[in-house]
Structure 1
Amino acid sequence: MKSGKADLVSQPPPWLMSESASVLSAIDVRHGETPVTINRKISERMLAELQKGMDLHIIRQPWYGDKNALLVVIPSVRFGDSYRDYLDCLRNLLPVNFSQIEKKSLYYNDAEELKSSARRYLNQVADYVKEDPAVKTVYIDGHTDSVGVRADNLEKSKERTALVVDYLVEKGVSPDMIVARWHGERYQVATNQTAKGRATNRRVTLRLSKELPHNTINASKPKAANASGESGSLNSGSLNNSSLNNSPANNAAANNDSTKNK
């Protein structure tokens, strides 16, 4: 189809002859796979006409030697039922898709509490994870800046991780899906010489995965965080009822995930 103009006409069907036809707008027609694009204002007018029971005709006049006009008809028959089904579908859609919430860093202030923006994100994560069976694992990694004692920072990163884990569990995420780890000051993503850099390092990263966790070995009982700055981790459940794990394999996995979430 050659480029040009077409008329968008509201046309009464045979059983509504009391109504009269009217031209709604002239629309652009372009050569290619998508010859007609309708803007929002005209689309809303089209919906209104279809809901009234009117048919819509797109009429492209003949081009040079062509004898016949091109006519595309959008009938109103059963449009109301289809449109209601469409609206029901929209209401049931999740507000986000996987790529929008797959990974994110949540930042902490001195109050050591979840910010309102973090809670909104975690609410979306919880809603999505409960609806998408393809998501198998939620990785949560806690970090600090380098101010203070290493052992204290490791404990602080554990507490930050716990806030996120407990919040998700409270919102209905299965504890069996969660792999939580804390690293203290071990994995820095910014300089600690500035306030801005330290604020960037005080974070909990969250990542969704469609694969089951690997190399997770639960100890028989919790081990205390040590002053050397080793990372800690757990699988399944909140930090209050699960085992710590300081295995080299899990620390390597934590390092890899931390790099992914910079």
Structure 2
Amino acid sequence: MKNRPVLTAASVALLLFTAQGQANSVRHYSANLDNSAWQMSEENRLTCEMEHKIPRYGKVFFQSEASKELNLRMKMEMRQLPDGYGVSAIESVPPRWQPGESSYRIGSMKLYKQFDGELRKQLAWTLLKELEKGRYPTFFYSDWYNNRDQVAVSLSSVNFRNAYDEFMTCVNALLPFSFDDIAYTVLNHEAESEKLTLTSQRKLKQISDYLQVDSNLELVLVDAYTDSLGAREPNQALTEQRAQEIEQFFIERGIDKTRIKTVGHGEDRPIKSNDNELNRQINRRVIVQLTKPSPIEL
């Protein structure tokens, strides 16, 4: 005799909703075959975002950002924010046209008073993979406005795959570094040469790539320094020239000149003593700083 499938809270809620059109004590929110829509809401080399509307409930967003590491977060934007603290169970529920399949638990999400729900990393990826399989990740929690009710919120896999393919194509094209990785960058020159070291050339290319896709940057500051060998005036002129070369590098790649400010400091402000070549190489540097506008205070 075959074992009967175990009915979880998720499958019971779904069966009740299917058989009666509504659950007796479970309010179920989910897009149906007619209104289930997934779409890209942001798509560039800095951010990939895919959204899904849940009628009468809110929206769900999956977002990945440029970074050294692959990342993902899911944000559940609720029309009515929690009025207390709790935990939502998450189960993977089969669609109605697969009656022989069982539901299973995949995790939980903490609920915070007056905050949207959020999942990060592994669990957010798990939800995407369950959707890719055609299943319905469903969130179950007690209603904070009516303690007699349970709430079930399902992400529909209907019309998911095309948007998912676009999303993953976008994720694979994200820059492999973030703003924080290049916001303050020190470039060094080779000994007795105007040429940047190979490491510094790679860093400069990264900054250039970032500047081309982020139009929200307020200013690019380029500060150049040298060691104390030679006379002061030629050293001052040398740092001004090096700063201007970096500026020209950015301009040639389409960066507006008005967004760039250069300063040559000559041999002032050494960070090491100039008594050996290693220290002098450290002092021969160009610092590139990127700044963003301050958040508007309400």
Q: 1:101 to 1:51 in 2, by over 3 A?
A: same
RMSD: 4.0
C-alpha displacement of 1:50: 0.7
Question: Partners in 1 of 2:181 and 2:85 — Cα distance?
Answer: 37
Share of identical aligned residues, percent?
25
Q: 1:27 aligns with which of 108, 111, 114?
A: 108
SS of 2:152's partner is strand
1:121 has 2:203 as partner: yes
Does the CA-based 8 Å contact 2:226-2:285 persist in structure 1? yes
SS of 2:273's partner is coil
What is residue 223 of structure 1 aligned with on the other side? Answer: none
Does the CA-based 8 Å contact 1:6-1:60 persist in structure 2? yes
TM-score by length of 1: 0.59
Which structure has greater helix proportion? Answer: 1
What is residue 33 of structure 2 aligned with on the other side? Answer: none
Q: 1:58 to 1:158 in 2, by over 3 A?
A: closer
Question: Partners in 2 of 1:56 and 1:134 — Cα distance?
Answer: 36
Question: Partners in 1 of 2:101 and 2:248 — Cα distance?
Answer: 63
What is residue 58 of structure 1 aligned with on the other side? Answer: 139
C-alpha displacement of 1:92: 5.2
What is residue 16 of structure 2 aligned with on the other side? Answer: none
1:107 has 2:196 as partner: no
Which structure has greater strand proportion? Answer: 2
TM-score by length of 2: 0.53
Q: 1:61 to 1:26 in 2, by over 3 A?
A: farther
C-alpha displacement of 1:122: 1.2
Q: 1:119 to 1:19 in 2, by over 3 A?
A: farther
Question: Partners in 2 of 1:152 and 1:62 — Cα distance?
Answer: 73
Per-residue CA deviation, residues 95-145 of structure 1 (Å, 9 max, x unaligned), is 556665455332335253312332222112222333345668755443212
What is residue 13 of structure 1 aligned with on the other side? Answer: 95
SS of 2:130's partner is helix
Q: 1:98 to 1:25 in 2, by over 3 A?
A: closer
Moved more, 27-36 or 112-121: 27-36
1:153 has 2:153 as partner: no
Q: 1:38 to 1:120 in 2, by over 3 A?
A: same
Moved more, 127-136 or 48-57: 127-136
> Considering only CA atoms, is the larger Rg found in Structure 1 or Structure 2?
1
What is residue 49 of structure 1 aligned with on the other side? Answer: 130
Question: Partners in 2 of 1:20 and 1:191 — Cα distance?
Answer: 68
Does the CA-based 8 Å contact 1:9-1:21 persist in structure 2? no
Question: Partners in 2 of 1:73 and 1:175 — Cα distance?
Answer: 46
Q: 1:142 to 1:7 in 2, by over 3 A?
A: closer
Q: 1:147 to 1:192 in 2, by over 3 A?
A: farther
In structure 2, list runs of 5 or more residues that go unmatched. Answer: 1-81, 294-298
Q: 1:150 to 1:158 in 2, by over 3 A?
A: same
